[in-house]
C-alpha cells in the first residue's frame, strides 16, 4: 500500500485523537482506518499506543508519596487555615492547635488562635454593618438559647440571608425592638414577618414596626396538634391492651367472678371512649394540616370557617381530657388570624394573576388547588388536561404564575429554625458567646456558597448572592486573604 507521509504529518490534533479513539474502540479495522485516512497502518498503531498509554496513566494508582502539587505555607495562609478550621470544620481551639502541631509541626497557643479570630471578626462586623436589607420582603424571626442566654435571629425567607444574630440578656419586647430598629437603619422594612407565638418577640415587632403584620408559624402549631393526636392514640392503644388482659382473666375465671367482669365492662367503656377521642382528634388535626393550613387550599373566609369548626370540636371534647386538649385548643383559638395570615397574602396574589391574564378567579384557584396533587400521579395530569381546555391557551402562563406566587408565600419560620440548628454546631464548643463571634458567624453563613440544596437555584450561590442578585468575592477574600490556586 502506498504511504503518504505528508498527510500524516499535517493531520490536526483533533484528527489524530479521532484515529486513536476509533482504533481503541475497534469500530473499524486498522486496515480500513488507515485506508480511509490515507495513512499507514504503522501510523494508526502509533496513535493507538499513545491513547492507550494516556488512559493507563490516567487510571493508574498513584504512589502515596508522589508529590501532587507544592503549597507555599505562609503566615497569611496559616491564618486562613485557622479561620477555615473553626468556621468550615466547626473545630475547637484545641482541635486547631492539635492539627497544626501534628500535620505542620507548628506550636501555637489558644490565645493566638483567639486573636486571629478577633482580627477577622472586626472586618466581618464592618461588612455586616454596611449590608443593605431593603430587599427583604418576608422576614423570619426566632430565638435560640446558649445555656440561659437568648440569641435573637432573623432570616430572609427568599434567600436565607441572616439579617439579625445577636446575643441579649433578655428577650422582652424592648430588647427585640432595639435590635429590629438597628436592622431598620440598614433598610430592613419587610412586607411582613413570620414568627412563633413568643410574646416578647411580637411586642418588640409592634414597637419597632407598628401594625406591620407578624404572621404565625404554622410549623409549631401543627407539631403541637400532631403531638396531641399521637399521645391520645397511644393512650387509646393502652386502654385496648388493658381491656384484652382483663378479657383473658374473665375467660379463665369461673362464672362467679362478678367483680372481675365489672372491671372488664368498665375497661371496655374506657377503651371505646379513648379510641373514639383519639380517632376524632386525629381527623381534626388532619383537616387542619391538609385543608386549613396547607398552602394550596380554599380562600381565607372558608379557611376561617373551617378553623373555627375545628376549635369548636376540640372544645366539645375538652372535658374528656382537659389537661391535654385545653392547651392546644387555647393556642389555636388565640392564633387564628396570625396563622391564617399567609392565606390572605396568597388570595391577593391569585386575584392579581386573575386580573393580569383576564381569567376568572375561581379558575385560578383551581390551578392553585391542583398543586395539592403529586405530579407523579395520573390524577394530576388528568386535571391538567381538563383545566387546559378551559384557559384558551393561557393555562401554562397561569400555572407558572401560580406556582411562583405559592413559592413566594412562606407559611413557616422553618428557615430560621434551620439556621438555629446550624448554629448549634458552633455553640456547643463554647460556654460563652459574644457579639464579635456571632458577627463572624453571621458574615460566614451569609457569604459561603451552598454545596447542596433542595432548591436547585441555591446550589453554588451564597445567601448574599440570592438576596442581591449580584456575585461577590469568596468570603476569605472579603476578609483580606488571597486564595491559593494550583498551577
pLDDT for the residue numbered 289 = 94
pLDDT for the residue numbered 255 = 61
Does pLDDT of 458 surpass 60? yes
Task: Using the CB atoms, write b or e for 152-168: b if 16+ within 10 Å.
Answer: bbbbbbbbbbbbbbbbb
The residue assigned the cell 411582613 is: 192
pLDDT for the residue numbered 6 = 58
What are the residue ranges of helices labelled H in 156-253?
173-185, 199-209, 218-252
**Tens-place pLDDT, residues 61-113:** 666 677 778 888 899 999 999 999 999 999 999 999 999 999 999 999 999 99
Higher pLDDT, 132 or 11: 132
Per-residue pLDDT, averaged over 142-166, amounts to: 92
The answer for 393, left when phi > 0, alpha when psi is -120 to 50, beta otherwise, is left
CA-based end-to-end distance of the chain: 47
**Tens-place pLDDT, residues 388-418:** 999 888 999 999 999 999 999 999 988 888 8
Per-residue pLDDT, averaged over 428-452, amounts to: 89
Contacts of 100 (CB under 8 A, 6+ apart): 78, 81, 82, 106, 107, 108
Per-residue pLDDT, averaged over 193-219, amounts to: 93
pTM assigned to the model: 0.79
Edge-to-edge strand ranges of the sheet holding 138-146:
162-167, 149-156, 138-146, 192-195, 214-216
Higher pLDDT, 324 or 58: 324
Contact indicator for 370, 360 with CB cutoff of 8 Å: no
Select 129-215+412-474's CATH number: 1.10.730.10, 3.30.420.10, 3.50.50.60, 3.40.50.300.
Answer: 3.30.420.10
Contact indicator for 33, 43 with CB cutoff of 8 Å: no
DSSP letter at 146 equals E
Domains of the chain, by residue range, sit at 5-59, 75-128, 129-215+412-474, 218-339, 342-407
Closest by CA to 304, choosing from 340, 335, 264, is 340
pLDDT, the chain, mean:
90
pLDDT for the residue numbered 256 = 58
Contacts of 404 (CB under 8 A, 6+ apart): none
Higher pLDDT, 357 or 27: 357
The kind and range of the H/E element at 338 are helix 336-339
Higher pLDDT, 204 or 64: 204
How many other β-carbons are positioned within 10 Å of the β-carbon of residue 485? 5
For the residues of 394-422, what is the DSSP string, one character each? -HHHHHHHHHHHHHT-----HHHHHHHHH
The kind and range of the H/E element at 152 are strand 149-156
Three cell numbers at 24?
481503541
Say how far apart CA 447 and CA 424 lie, in whole Å. 19
Does pLDDT of 302 surpass 80? yes
* Cα Rg, the chain, nearest whole Å: 33
What SS3 class is residue 165?
strand
Per-residue pLDDT, averaged over 113-139, amounts to: 94
The kind and range of the H/E element at 45 are helix 41-59
pLDDT for the residue numbered 441 = 95
Amino acid at each position: 500500500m502506498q504511504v503518504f507521509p505528508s498527510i500524516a504529518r499535517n493531520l490536526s490534533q483533533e484528527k489524530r485523537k479521532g484515529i486513536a479513539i476509533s482504533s481503541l474502540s475497534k469500530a473499524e479495522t486498522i486496515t480500513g482506518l488507515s485506508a480511509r485516512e490515507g495513512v499507514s497502518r504503522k501510523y494508526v498503531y502509533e496513535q493507538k499506543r499513545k491513547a492507550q498509554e494516556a488512559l493507563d496513566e490516567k487510571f493508574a494508582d498513584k504512589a502515596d508519596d508522589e508529590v501532587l502539587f507544592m503549597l507555599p505555607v505562609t503566615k497569611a495562609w496559616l491564618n486562613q487555615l485557622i479561620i477555615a478550621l473553626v468556621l468550615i470544620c466547626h473545630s475547637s481551639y484545641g482541635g486547631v492547635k492539635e492539627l497544626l502541631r501534628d500535620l505542620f509541626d507548628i506550636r501555637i497557643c489558644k490565645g493566638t488562635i483567639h486573636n486571629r479570630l478577633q482580627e477577622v471578626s472586626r472586618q466581618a462586623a464592618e461588612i455586616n454593618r454596611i449590608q443593605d436589607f431593603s430587599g427583604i420582603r418576608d422576614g423570619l424571626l426566632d430565638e435560640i438559647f446558649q445555656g440561659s442566654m437568648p440569641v435573637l435571629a432573623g432570616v430572609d425567607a427568599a434567600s436565607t440571608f441572616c439579617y439579625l444574630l445577636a446575643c441579649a440578656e433578655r428577650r422582652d419586647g424592648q430588647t427585640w425592638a432595639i435590635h429590629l430598629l438597628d436592622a431598620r437603619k440598614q433598610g430592613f422594612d419587610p412586607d411582613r414577618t413570620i414568627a412563633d407565638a413568643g410574646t416578647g418577640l411580637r411586642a418588640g415587632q409592634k414597637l419597632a414596626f407598628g401594625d406591620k403584620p407578624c404572621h404565625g408559624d404554622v410549623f409549631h402549631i401543627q407539631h403541637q396538634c400532631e403531638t396531641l393526636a399521637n399521645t391520645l392514640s397511644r393512650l387509646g392503644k393502652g386502654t385496648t391492651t388493658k381491656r384484652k388482659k382483663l378479657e383473658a382473666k374473665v375467660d379463665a375465671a369461673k362464672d362467679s367472678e362478678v367483680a372481675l367482669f365489672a372491671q372488664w365492662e368498665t375497661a371496655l367503656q374506657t377503651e371505646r371512649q379513648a379510641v373514639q377521642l383519639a380517632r376524632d382528634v386525629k381527623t381534626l388535626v388532619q383537616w387542619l394540616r391538609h385543608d386549613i393550613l396547607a398552602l394550596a387550599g380554599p380562600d381565607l373566609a372558608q379557611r376561617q370557617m373551617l378553623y373555627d369548626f375545628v376549635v369548636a370540636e376540640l372544645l366539645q371534647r375538652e372535658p374528656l381530657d382537659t389537661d391535654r386538649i385545653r392547651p392546644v385548643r387555647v393556642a389555636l383559638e388565640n392564633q387564628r388570624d396570625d396563622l391564617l395570615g399567609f392565606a390572605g397574602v396568597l388570595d391577593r396574589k391569585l386575584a392579581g394573576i386573575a386580573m393580569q391574564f383576564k381569567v376568572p378567579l375561581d379558575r385560578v384557584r383551581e390551578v392553585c388547588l391542583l398543586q395539592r396533587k403529586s405530579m407523579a400521579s395520573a390524577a394530576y395530569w388528568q386535571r391538567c388536561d381538563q383545566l387546559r381546555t378551559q384557559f384558551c391557551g393561557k393555562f401554562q402562563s397561569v400555572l407558572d404564575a401560580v406556582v411562583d406566587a405559592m413559592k413566594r408565600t412562606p407559611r413557616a419560620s422553618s428557615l430560621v429554625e434551620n439556621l438555629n440548628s446550624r448554629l448549634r454546631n458552633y455553640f456547643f464548643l463554647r460556654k460563652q458567646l459574644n457579639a464579635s463571634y456571632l458577627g463572624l458567624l453571621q458574615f460566614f453563613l451569609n457569604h459561603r456558597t451552598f454545596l447542596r440544596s433542595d432548591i436547585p437555584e441555591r446550589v453554588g450561590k451564597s445567601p448574599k448572592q440570592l438576596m442581591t442578585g449580584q456575585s461577590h468575592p469568596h468570603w476569605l477574600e472579603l476578609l483580606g486573604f488571597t486564595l491559593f490556586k494550583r498551577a
